[in-house]
């Protein structure tokens, strides 16, 4: 085990031993999502960032010494992480910034960044001999858990609202998960899942409950730093629903900064859909996480639809601590961003993921990003996850009779 010092509650500041709590802060309740802190002094003495050059493991597990897992722990075989980071000069030019990159986490095995969290959660379940893992989700988190668990033959129970899109339910069933179609909302499914996990001893991956999801997701920041030779971008843009990804991105850079492996933290800009912007409003109005009230969330970008973001405390802290910001984008801008990003970079993103492109444009326009700065857009999910929205974003396709004349005519040659 990496030298874990304690679990920290970002709301009340209380610290717990790893054995003391399994999920959230016992005092704060569900808003108190815990964070894993390490003995950075000890790690600094043991680890050398330049030694990573000899590391042959090209997956998130190349950073195992910085993760809450034993050095000899068995990890799931699916290759999660070490996704491509692309230098994107035409994107930089379009945005009007000095340099821009895209980190394509849609290239993960089940098509989203959620695989990083699920891989660590399943590794911990294996370590503890837990036989069943469970989560509530409508989409990518459930697919990630089902896929990673299938790679080790672990039993998975998924709670989804019965109205969840058929394609997403199909992906779960293909992986062999037991899928409970709860005849109510995601929030009700979430609570049922939580209660069943507690009473049956299943290991619960629920976002904002399990302190290790962000620890898995933080590996994306380790990769960004290593792939850029430890010179981090000025700004990293992340789309935000529950806030667990941006919390993980923050934690990754925080770990590296504590170790002295990077010289500064990038500013984090969270991108929310206008119809699901609870964190944007809290940030703008100086409201703290405990005082946030649920809103009715409504956006085409289903993966960032969250009425009361589960990881709100850590998400607000990530933005405030780095002097970052939140921005909002409309559904129309999100849909338009799908082909825009794809044509500038070759990366095909689902709506929630493409939203960072629209967010970057808004941030440059409003002066949150200066023209001489460097920016990284985090691609969180693959475009093939939501083909229907992709179809809405484009027109074209020419019907042509099967003759050369017709082809030439269609191409106006």
Ligand X SMILES: *Cc1c(COP(=O)(O)O)cnc(C)c1O
Q: Could you list the residues that contact Zn ion (CB under 5 A)?
A: 9, 11-12, 14, 25, 27-28, 32
**Bridge pairing between strands 99-104 and 85-87:** antiparallel
The region of 28-36, 87-95, 151-159, 240-248 touching ligand X under the rule CB under 6 A is 240-248
Alpha-carbon distance 249 to 245, whole Å?
A: 6
Which string of x and - marks every residue 127-166 that binds ligand X (by CB under 6 A)? -------------x--------------------------
Alpha-carbon distance 305 to 301, whole Å?
A: 7
- Asked if residue 242 binds ligand X (CB under 6 A), the reply is yes
Within 13 Å and on the Cβ side, how many CA atoms surround 40? 11
Q: Count of CB atoms within 10 A of residue 43's CB?
A: 16
Alpha-carbon distance 250 to 268, whole Å?
A: 8
- Asked if residue 32 binds ligand X (CB under 6 A), the reply is no
DSSP string, 317-354: HHHHHTT-EEEEE-HHHHHHHHHHHHHHHS--B-HHHH
**8 Å CB contact between 24 and 34:** yes
Q: Characterize 232-254 residue by residue with b for buried, 16 or more Cβ atoms within 10 angstroms of its Cβ, and e for exposed.
A: bbbbbbbbbbbbbbbbbbbbbbb
Least distance between Zn ion and beta carbon 268 (Å): 23
Q: Which option in ligand X, Zn ion, none does residue 380 bind, with CB closer than 5 to 8 A by kind?
A: ligand X
- Which of 214, 270, 272 minimizes the C-alpha distance to 244? 214
Using the minimum distance from each CB to Zn ion, give the nearer residue, 315 or 378: 315
Least distance between ligand X and beta carbon 345 (Å): 16
Q: Which of 210, 303, 328, 374 binds ligand X (CB under 6 A)?
A: 303
178 phi and psi angles, rounded to 5 deg: -80, 120
Residue 34, Cβ density class (10 Å: 0-12 exposed, 13-18 middle, ≥19 buried): buried
Q: Which option in ligand X, Zn ion, none does residue 220 bind, with CB closer than 5 to 8 A by kind?
A: none
**8 Å CB contact between 386 and 348:** no
The region of 68-76, 162-170, 194-202, 241-249 touching ligand X under the rule CB under 6 A is 241-249
Place of tokens 């808003």: 31
- Asked if residue 239 binds ligand X (CB under 6 A), the reply is yes
Q: Which of 62, 103, 114, 218 binds ligand X (CB under 6 A)?
A: 114
3-state SS class at 202? coil
Least distance between ligand X and beta carbon 15 (Å): 24
Least distance between ligand X and beta carbon 223 (Å): 17
Which string of x and - marks every residue 335-374 that binds ligand X (by CB under 6 A)? ---------------x-xx---------------------
Q: Which option in ligand X, Zn ion, none does residue 32 bind, with CB closer than 5 to 8 A by kind?
A: Zn ion
Instruction: Tell me the CA distances in angstroms from 263 to 39, 143, 232, 308, 377, one per residue in order.
Output: 19, 36, 8, 34, 20
Q: Which of 244, 322, 328, 345 binds ligand X (CB under 6 A)?
A: 244
Least distance between ligand X and beta carbon 245 (Å): 4
Least distance between ligand X and beta carbon 246 (Å): 6
Least distance between Zn ion and beta carbon 320 (Å): 18
- Asked if residue 233 binds ligand X (CB under 6 A), the reply is no
Q: Characterize 89-112 residue by residue with b for buried, 16 or more Cβ atoms within 10 angstroms of its Cβ, and e for exposed.
A: eebbebbebebbbbbbbbbbbbbb
Using the minimum distance from each CB to ligand X, give the nearer residue, 2 or 220: 220
Q: Which option in ligand X, Zn ion, none does residue 11 bind, with CB closer than 5 to 8 A by kind?
A: Zn ion
Q: Which option in ligand X, Zn ion, none does residue 112 bind, with CB closer than 5 to 8 A by kind?
A: ligand X
**Interacting residue ranges for ligand X, rule: CB under 6 A:** 112, 114, 140, 239-245, 303-304, 350, 352-353, 380-381
């Amino acid at each position: 085990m990496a030298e874990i010092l304690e679990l920290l509650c970002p709301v009340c500041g209380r610290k717990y031993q790893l054995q003391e709590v399994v999920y959230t802060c016992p005092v704060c309740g569900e808003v108190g999502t815990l964070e894993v802190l390490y003995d950075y002094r000890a790690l600094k003495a043991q680890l050398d960032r330049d030694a990573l050059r000899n590391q042959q493991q090209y997956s998130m597990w190349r950073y195992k010494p910085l993760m809450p897992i034993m050095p000899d722990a068995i990890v799931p075989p699916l290759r999660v992480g070490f996704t491509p980071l692309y230098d994107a000069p035409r994107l930089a030019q379009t945005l009007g910034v000095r340099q821009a990159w895209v980190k394509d986490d849609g290239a993960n095995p089940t098509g989203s960044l959620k695989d990083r969290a699920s891989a660590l959660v399943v590794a911990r379940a294996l370590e503890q001999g837990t036989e069943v893992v469970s989560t509530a989700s409508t989409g990518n988190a459930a697919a990630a858990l089902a896929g990673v668990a299938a790679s080790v033959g672990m039993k998975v129970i998924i709670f989804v609202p019965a109205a969840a899109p058929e394609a997403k339910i199909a992906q779960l069933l293909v992986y062999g998960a037991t899928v409970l179609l709860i005849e109510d909302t995601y929030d009700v499914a979430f609570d049922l899942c939580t209660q069943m996990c507690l009473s049956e001893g299943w290991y619960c991956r629920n976002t904002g409950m399990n302190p290790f999801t962000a620890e898995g997701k933080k590996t994306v920041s380790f990769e960004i730093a290593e792939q850029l030779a430890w010179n981090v971008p000025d700004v990293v843009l992340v789309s935000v629903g529950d806030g667990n990804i941006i919390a993980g991105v923050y934690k990754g850079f925080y770990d590296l900064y504590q170790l002295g492996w990077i010289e500064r933290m990038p500013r984090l800009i969270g991108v929310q859909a206008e119809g699901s912007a609870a964190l944007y409003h809290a940030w703008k109005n100086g409201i703290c996480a405990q005082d946030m009230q649920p809103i009715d969330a409504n956006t085409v970008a289903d993966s960032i639809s969250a009425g009361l973001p589960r990881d709100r405390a850590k998400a607000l802290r990530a933005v405030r601590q780095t002097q970052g910001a939140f921005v909002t984008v409309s559904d129309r801008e999100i849909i338009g961003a799908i082909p825009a990003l794809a044509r500038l970079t070759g990366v095909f993103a689902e709506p929630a993921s493409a939203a960072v492109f629209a967010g970057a444009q808004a941030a440059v326009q409003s002066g949150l990003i200066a023209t001489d700065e460097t920016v990284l857009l985090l691609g969180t999910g693959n475009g093939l996850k939501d083909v229907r929205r992709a179809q809405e974003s484009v027109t074209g396709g020419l019907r042509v009779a099967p003759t050369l004349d017709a082809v030439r005519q269609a191409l106006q040659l």
